[in-house]
Structure 1
Amino acid sequence: MSGEIQGRADSGGRVYQASGDQYIVEHHHHSDAGSIAWESVASVRQPTGGRAPVVLRDRTELMEHLRPAVAPEASNQIYVLHGMGGCGKTAVARTPFEDATADGNRIGLWVNAADRTSLRSGMLAVAADRGAAEGELIAARNGLRAPADLVWDRLGSSDRPWLLVLDNADDPEILQEGGWLRASPRGTVLVTTRRAAARWWSHAELHHVGVLPQEAAAQVLCDLAPESGTMAEAAEIADRLGRLPLALTLAGGFLSHQVIDPWSMAEYGHHLGDRGGAEFIDQGASALGREDARHLITRTWQLSLDALAGRGLEESTALLRLLACYGSDPLPLTILNSPQINNVVPRTRADAALRGLLDQSLTAMVDPGVRCLQSHAVLLASVMASTPGEQITEFTGTAARLLAAAVPAIPQRGPQDLRLSLLAPHTVALLRNSSETSVVVEVLEVAVRLACALHRTGDYLSAWELASAAVAAAEPRLGRAHRLVLSAHSRIGRALFRLGRFEESEAVLRRVLAEREGLFGPDDPDTLDSCFGINYPLQELGRVAEGVALLQRAADGRKRVLGREHPLTLQAHALLIEFLPVAELALEIDGAVMPLPQECALHLGSDHAVSLGARLSYAYALFRLDRFEGAVEEAGRVFADYDRRHGPDYALTLAAQQVYARARAALGDVNSAVEMLAVVVRRREQSLGAQHPFTAQAREHLEEFRAQAAARLAD
């Protein structure tokens, strides 16, 4: 959990040791709304994870060990702060970070390494800070350039020495498998983690961060709530809380927040003693001795909820249990603005309930470009663990319906949408938290729809990651033969194709086609969708006839099942004319009652995505038939329309520009073709990577036309 705690001592600042694993990842866009979603970290120059401490309690010896990390000549070192969650590792890391940056001679860089998404976003923001070009970042974001290599290349060539803090690195596997943790002669790395095993931290200097001594722990409570009791009373409460900084912070925040009927420390201790048995809320922690106080956090936040209930905000408990169904990443606030929330919290009371949670620091407001809530993972886990079993289905079901309302029913093509990107980790978390089969089905349907939406905005890597995680969470409970599970596998195959992994894509889509046909029949819409989708990798793998046959089957089947005027039928016919043999293509186009683009516009409207796609397919068909004047005219218009609607970097915009350039070259305007294809190559290198097959294809055309232009000059 993170956010402001209303402590009154020393200007209301949070005590140092309490930041611990309470953190906020803030994501800000530093460019237009259409910018890339991964440019969403507010700052890597400032620590996250709570306020800086007013007073440093204890840790003196540890600070002495860390002082060499920020010495002027320090470099090529990795320091690891390890200990249980809530012990103040993040707070400890702040002191060397602030010391390192105080004189301006060293840059401080702070990254939340709690999960793959936050780590990757933060490290790419570090690369951007150290001078990485936009094209390099786009390629890394799409998984087509090793992102860790880019980051460490930029760090290694930094013009100033630096201190990099990798905070909350509680899953060291993601550091190892991504190659994110390295030493550098240009700076020092400081890691905070719960995992202490030396095998994870080779070549690093390890330092344990434990609970506080009694006197220092008591002083923490007095710092936050100086008017609530004596040092002796504070020491007693500190001992009951196991002297864990996170628990002390929550207790001090609770005591300092009481206004109408403030509790003393003695009263707090009495109520604390009245609570039920303790339980470990962090299942990922190693078994510890009786002095471990992690389990007391559950009691502490429950006291805060009891206080809210005493103020007439019983709904705050229900709202927090609803939030616990999701993950600890930023959650768009608009998700709560839906009638579906009435199932667990009256919509008219939701705002008051949320204000209560914010007042008690049980959640926090963050702004990654849209207003969001963020709660700490430890808190959410403890809340979910303590939710009565008979209520879990009600809360997860409501959470599923709130997600469903936030994801477009029919995803549209367009620029990347930050709100959709932010929903992905919560969809996966909800799948994992759901136990009722009916709720798992609801959430999986949202996951498939969201993966499709991400795909259509060009965020292919996120679409693949979401669909893969959804399959891993849902398939063991629903079975491979479930229709939605197969749909999620299909989304994996489609995303793999766009990432240039054609063999893998074909293999996945081939299995899905066989399973759908066996389970649902040859004319089922899902089976026909598989026939349509597998054509893409088959064409790129050189199996043209096989792809055309399956695409023809999709077109004929959709016409039979859905009707000639259905968007999916028209879409299949439009794609078919891109791949038919030239002899058949001429008969298809010349024998049509009206050109396919006109037919699509008649039934769907000229602005429909299928109509626009049909125009691109038609332009390419004219090019294949050597009808270059018509191809230039049609391709030029559709390129302009894609550019206007989706921007110059969108995949279909570049595809239309490439057709337009090739048609212009065929009419003798080679110089214009070279100019346009140079743009296509550059933009594909930035978004897909230099080695992506689509980039290589455009580069081949560019080299061909440059050779033609050179030959003409020689003549």
Structure 2
Amino acid sequence: MSTTSPSNAQPSTTQPTGGDKASAKSKSDWLAPAILTARTITAAAECAPFPYIKGVSGTVVILLETVQKVKKNREDLKELCESTTEIVMILHDQILAHGNTAVKFKAMCEELESYLAAVVFAVQNLHNPSKGFRKRVKEFVGSSNITDEIAGHQKQIQGICFKLKLLAAVDTNSKVNEMHAIMTAPSFVVTPPSQSINNCPPPSRIFQGRQIILAKMHKFFTPNSGKQLIYVLHGLGGAGKTQIALKFIQESSAKFSDIFLLDASTLDTINTGLKNIAVSKCVGDSAEDTLTWLQSKHGDWLLFFDNADDPKINLNKFFPQCNHGNIIITSRNPGLRAYGTHSPVSDMEDKDAITLLLQSAAKEGSEENVQAAAVIVKVRDLRIIEQFLIIEQELFHLPLAIVQAGSFILQSEDIAGYLTLYQKNRARLLSEKAVQSHDHYAWTVYTTWQISFDRLSPLATTLLQLCSFLHYSGISEDMFSNASKYSFPVWLPAKEELQEPLQFLSSFLDPTGEWSSLRFSEVTNEIKSYSLITFDAATKMFSIHPLVHAWSRNTLVDEAASRLCISSLLGMSIAEIPDQDITLASLRLMPHLGALSPFDAGSGAGFGAAFLYIYLSVSKLQEAQDLIEQVFDKYNLIFGEQHPATLEIMQRLGHTYSCLGEYKKAKELEVTVLEKRSKLLGEDHLDTLRAREHLARTHSDLGDFENAKELQVTVLEKSIRLLGRDHPEALMSMGRLAWIHSKLGDFENAKELRVTVLEKRTALLGQDHPDTLTAMGNLARSHSELGDSEKAKELEVVVLEKRTKLLGEDHPDTLLAMGNLAITHSELGDLEKAKELEVVVLEKRIKLLGEHHPQTLMAMGNLASIHSKLGDFEKAKEFEVTVLEKRIKLLGEDHPDTLLAMGNLARTHSELGEFEKAKEVEVTVLEKRIKLLGEDHPATLLAMGNLARTHSKLRDFEKAKEVEVTVLEKRIKLLGEDHPQTLMAMRNLASTHSELGDFEKAKKLKVTGLKKWIALLGQDHPDTLIAMGDLATTHSKLGDFEKAKELEVAVLEKRTKLLGEDHPDTLLTMGNLATTHSELGDFEKAKELEVAVLEKRIKLLGEDHPQTLMAMGNLAITHSTLGDFEKAKELEVTVLEKRRQLWGDQHPDTVGAMQNLAIMHRVLDKLMEAEELEQLVKQIQMSL
């Protein structure tokens, strides 16, 4: 920040010696050049504009012209000199004491101008002055007979005028040399001042905040430290570095014996300032004299180097070489941190920024209002404060910008109007300086940066300007280094179109044509030296202050050409990103694409297809569609619809439609691509095979797995024949075929293919290759599908360990492996471990990818599922509501992932007993899926089955049966009788028959289902054991308790062996077996089993889990059967209290607990308590 200290400039002069004859001529000629100098400064201030300089120099002109024109006698001249000297001395003292914006200074100026104007008027109205009068006055002034008194006044005026001119000259760079030439001419000799002129002005009267930095400075500068203390304040121009230093000096002036302010912007100003110290302290007349004196002066002096911005100046040689004294440096160059302790000066805190804005606008003056403004940063409940907060955010907390905004608002009295004007006229408003200011800083926001910008090399200038089209943060070297590796495709963009970006990149290549990080660092370091960019060593990212970012674009001559250049550079960089890195790269690059608006620039340069991958990766689906449709139209126009380049874009458009859930539109395009490629290139061309594979994937999305399988088998066979069985594309096709087999319920074939892929990738790529680990993870899924969750866990642990070692804990692929392992722990019944892992996954994805990323939302949904299994349905609901809201915002209401989230939320509503709400949501999901996917799509049938289950919860079993019959018929038709989803539909329909009392029909379906499960998956598969347990339940309903017991014993033994004694499914079977023992009259055995179940569930799930409460209720019934009614009542009371606490009175399970306890009260002859509960149950049932 600039300063008005008189120490900032001093002409090289020779001091005159009192009555030396050689000085006689100079005494008579000093007025004319002095007036010329003042007029020059006034003109420069008018152009800049610098109102303060204009006022001072204008006053000096009047003063000197009046002295020159005086036409009276010697006594009049003496009187004039005395009066003007007195006024100017007062004026000078006020400047030094209060700063050039002090109210008293203004008053002194007005008084001086008024007085001098009166003198001028009187002189101009003298009648008929004699022709030789001026000559006589000049002779009189220059006469050697002039009295010592008048000479003394004259010297005082000369000295003060000299000081005032120095003050005025500080910020007038364009005229300083001209003034210096005039002042150092032989005819211009002045007497330098006798006192120190290196005084510091006070800080701004509206100084705000920076308490952390000030506290650090106060702690740092301790008296008698025994060493020289140096503190550096560095940061962007306009950030308030000088103001912090001045505030510290004001608060700590008592610590220092002497305080000297030096303008360190140039070598000349540093030398001049040091010379002034020597002269004022009478220790010599050179910079070296000052340094020598400071070295020998052992007091706690302070040397303040302000605006040491020039990286070419070696500031160290201006430091006194000693072990004492104190130095403060303000600079835009962060490289000066090397000199000592430092603080970066960046944007202000919210409350300080708002307070500064309020004060500079004079809108709020009281402490109460200032405090309210700080609070309202968060709550925003007052309109005027809201407007200030918006302005402050628009100005990005930069102090100088905030002060300029406040000054404008002070004049206009229109806060909202300023916002509109600022948004439309940012450059102009940030370039204009208010006439009234709170400090001596002469530059505006934009002019202070222009000074730094003008010093940059052409290459640094270009880099900064190109970056102005990117987002202002997250700029990395690899964005440019990747672009330098760009390999040109066959089609767009042609090399000729990329000459400008190629020429720019060539400046960073070494003689071998390789990227030179050293050269890039040299250029970025140059820009960093002026704080126009900053670098984060932890992230390896550059950032630009948002206002500098906007301003640097204003420096461009041809904005369109620069936009196209950086767009091309970004497209070239994206094209070179490896597939495995695209997720993280997309997150880094998406803000830059958003800032760049590639529809105007990127697609025009031929890189729209490259940008597409970024949009899809971060689920910016509408933007992706708009972009690829525009690119497709362009290619169609340039090449025609049959051209390979057009077909490639058509295929990508189809993929985009698939991502949007518009599978039918995707299929239509992909069929066209396949037909055209088959005709143009032949059936066996690789591009034809890729088109067929895309179509196979879309058939899968549409639920048409048989057609998908047929297409994928053809792709695999041709790939093996053309490329070989071990080729990466052949193995990729094999993996995709395995996935289709899995969807078809053919888990064994899926496993067989996945084993092959894993073995080949291990042999070809090694155990640690990313593709090998992907194959291992896929095989783990096959093991889970086949019921071997332990084997799946074993493989997933290996994948997680290897990815953690190779990629790090936070890589998306590592988190994917962790999420898969969490699911397997859940399948194994280890819900707490599953929750622990899923929490880590969610936290890391939020940090890495953001709250709205699809992978983050997937983790949130998975964690919600685990909370449901743990019985924490409210927490599950909270997560699921969030997932649904974010997916609606991100993907729209009709996207498949949105509907999946909606279905999950419906299930949780059901678990909470909110069956009507669940039904409402499920009806919506079903209607949308029918509309989007058709009645026969697997996802539609799943929604139909979920709705049937809710009908059952609402006791509408006939409606449930109707829906379930439809689901079963469609699944048999689409998937066959033996598909797992068909068997699940059969199981659900059997349960509904049981609810309707048709146990024989239920038994028939369950027997059929069990046989098919055994044939499909074997006797030990989890789904087979579920079917066996369901059949046992039906035998019980039919009164065949021995048969039920036999089946349940078999299920319990298998689950104990496969899953362990503590698995939830094992405990469920144990409870069912206990019930069967009760039915057989073996109540003691039932009690023994139920006690074991309750104890294990309390230990594993906690006392409040729904399954724990169910076990407690079952044990209560058994105690009642055994005649231990008090124990039964005690348990029933606990169950009711906990269910009320969990779900409230209206939940069906709570109502059931009330009914059970009412029965127990009647058994115990507590009729009043029983009737009270029965009445409450009746009221609840009526309300529902």
| TM-score, normalised with respect to structure 1 | 0.47
| TM-score, normalised with respect to structure 2 | 0.30
Relative to its length, the structure with more helix (as a share) is: 2
Between 1 and 2, higher relative CO (CA 8 Å, sep ≥ 6) is seen in 1
> Which of these two proteins has the greater Rg computed from alpha carbons?
2
